[in-house]
Amino acid sequence: MKSKKLSLIIILLSILALVFILTFYKLFSLPINSDFADKIIFTDEYSGFATEIGQDDVSSLKEAFNGTAWKIGYGFPACPLTGISVTFSSEDHALTLYPAGDGCDTVRVRHKGLSYYYSLGEKNSEMREILEKYGAVWPYV
């Protein structure tokens, strides 16, 4: 009888933990998916220069920027997350991302008035190389 109660308690605690984890994930994460975009614009916000990314580089940038951003965990990143932006757009949707201008792999995205952050990780150098072909000069600080 005790083992059945213990099993029931373990099952209920497991379900409760799963609900907590899923709720936390839903409240504090933002999936970044740029696959919808048919156009990508790189903008140097200091000079006002903007250019469209060529079709040869679109799929690589989409892959580099897809990920999950978080409201928490980064606090206030030390990386400068202004100065350059990459906007993914289609006819009815746009998503603007702000990669760090000092070369660190952090990206900021604004959604419904909140800032979310995520890391490009190993894809950071590929992203930088592509943007350099369109006028990016590092660092942007």
pLDDT at 20 over 70: yes
Q: The tokens of 61 are what?
A: 């940038």
DSSP secondary structure of 11-71: HHHHHHHHHHHHHHHHHHEEEE--TT-SEEEEEETTTTEEEEPPHHHHHHHHHHH-EEEES
Cβ atoms of 141 and 101 within 8 Å: the answer is: yes
Residue keyed to tokens 């350059």: 84
User: What is the pLDDT at residue 24?
Assistant: 64
Tokens of 25: 């994930």
Listed by start position, the domains of the chain span: 29-132
* Mean predicted lDDT score pLDDT of the chain: 84
Architecture of domain 29-132: 2-Layer Sandwich (3.30)
**Which single residue is written with the structure tokens 């609900």?**
19
Edge-to-edge strand list for the sheet holding 84-89: 29-32, 67-70, 114-119, 106-111, 94-99, 84-89, 39-44, 49-52
Phi then psi for residue 121, to 5 deg, are: 60, -130
Q: What is the pLDDT of residues 101-141, one digit of tens each?
A: 887 888 888 877 888 888 888 999 999 999 999 988 777 65
**pLDDT class for 73, splitting at 50, 70, 90?**
low
Measured in Å, how far apart are the chain's first and last C-alpha atoms?
A: 66
**pTM given for the model:** 0.76
